[in-house]
Amino acid sequence: MTTPGDSAAEIWPLWEVFVRSNRGLSHVHVGSLHAPDETLAVRNARDLYTRRSEGVSVWVVPAAAITTSDPDAKGAFFESPAGKNYRHASYYSKSEGVKHL
Amino acid sequence: MTSTITPDTSAPVAISVEEQQFNDLIEADSRIEPRDWMPEGYRKSLVRQISQHAHSEIIGMQPESNWITRAPSLKRKAILMAKVQDEAGHGLYLYSAAQTLGATRDDMTDALIAGKARYSSIFNYPTPSWADMGSIGWLVDGAAICNQVPLCRASYGPYGRAMVRICKEESFHQRQGFEILLELMQGTEEQRQMAQDSVNRWYWPALMMFGPPDDDSPNSAQSMAWKIKRHSNDELRQRFVNMLVPQAAVLGVTLPDPDLHFNEETQQWDLGEIDWTEFHEVLAGRGPNNAQRLQRRRDAHDEGAWVREAAAAYAHKQSARTEEMAAK
Q: What is this model's ipTM?
A: 0.81
Specify whether the CB–CB gap between A36 and A18 falls below 8 A: no
Q: How far is A43 from B82, CA to CA, in rounded Å?
A: 17
The chain B residue lying nearest A15, using CA atoms, is B96
Q: How far is A61 from B239, CA to CA, in rounded Å?
A: 42
Question: Which CATH architecture fits A14-87?
Answer: Roll (3.10)
Q: How far is B294 from B291, CA to CA, in rounded Å?
A: 5
User: For residue B237, what are the CA distances in angstroms to B46, B146, B197, B270?
Assistant: 22, 8, 22, 11
Length of chain B: 328
Length of chain A: 101
Specify whether the CB–CB gap between B143 and B184 falls below 8 A: no
One digit per residue, pLDDT tens: chain B, 328 residues?
444 455 455 555 788 888 999 999 999 999 999 889 999 999 999 999 999 999 999 999 999 998 999 999 999 999 999 999 999 999 999 999 999 999 999 999 999 999 999 999 999 999 999 999 999 999 999 999 999 999 999 999 999 999 999 999 988 999 999 999 999 999 999 999 999 999 999 999 999 999 999 888 877 889 999 999 999 999 999 999 999 999 999 999 999 999 999 999 999 999 999 999 999 999 888 899 999 999 999 999 999 999 989 988 988 888 888 888 888 7
Return the closest-CA partner of residue B160 out of B307, B32, B60.
Answer: B32
* CB pair distance less than 8 Å for B314 and A51: no
Neighbours of A18 (CB within 10 A): 18
* CB pair distance less than 8 Å for B89 and A14: no
One digit per residue, pLDDT tens: chain A, 101 residues?
456 666 777 888 899 999 999 999 999 999 999 998 999 999 999 999 999 989 999 999 998 899 888 766 556 677 777 888 888 888 899 988 898 88
* CB pair distance less than 8 Å for B99 and A14: yes
* CB pair distance less than 8 Å for B314 and A48: no
Domain residue limits, chain A: 14-87
Q: How far is B118 from B89, CA to CA, in rounded Å?
A: 19
Q: How far is B113 from B117, CA to CA, in rounded Å?
A: 8
Q: In chain A, what residues touch B171 (CB-CB under 8 Å)?
A: none
The chain B residue lying nearest A38, using CA atoms, is B315
Q: In chain B, what residues touch A7 (CB-CB under 8 Å)?
A: 99, 102, 104
Give the minimum alpha-carbon distance from A84 to chain B in angstroms, rounded to a whole number: 24
User: For residue A51, what are the CA distances in angstroms to A43, B31, B67, B126?
Assistant: 12, 28, 21, 28
Q: Which pLDDT belongs to residue B91?
A: 96
CATH number, domain B15-286: 1.20.1260.10
DSSP letter at A61 equals E
Q: How far is B312 from B178, CA to CA, in rounded Å?
A: 43
DSSP letter at B268 equals E
Angle at which helices B305-327 and B290-303 cross, to 10°: 30
Specify whether the CB–CB gap between B322 and A38 falls below 8 A: no
Q: What is the pTM of this model?
A: 0.89
Q: In chain A, what residues touch B89 (CB-CB under 8 Å)?
A: 47-48, 51
State residue A19 phi and psi, 5-degree precision: -125, 135
Which A positions 39-98 lie with beta carbon below 8 A of chain B?
Answer: 40, 47-48, 51-52, 68, 71-72
Q: Which pLDDT belongs to residue B3?
A: 47
Q: How far is A33 from B97, CA to CA, in rounded Å?
A: 10
Q: How far is B136 from B245, CA to CA, in rounded Å?
A: 17
Return the closest-CA partner of residue B84 out of B133, B144, B151.
Answer: B133
Q: Which pLDDT belongs to residue A69?
A: 81
State residue A18 phi and psi, 5-degree precision: -125, 135
Whether the CB of A33 is below 8 Å from some CB of chain B: the reply is: yes
Q: How far is B161 from B151, CA to CA, in rounded Å?
A: 9
Q: What is the pLDDT of residues B134-157, one digit of tens each?
A: 999 999 999 999 999 999 999 999
Neighbours of B321 (CB within 10 A): 10
Q: What is the pLDDT of residues B157-170, one digit of tens each?
A: 999 999 999 999 98
Measured at the alpha carbon of residue B147, what is the angle toward residues B56 and B243, in degrees to the nearest 5?
Answer: 125
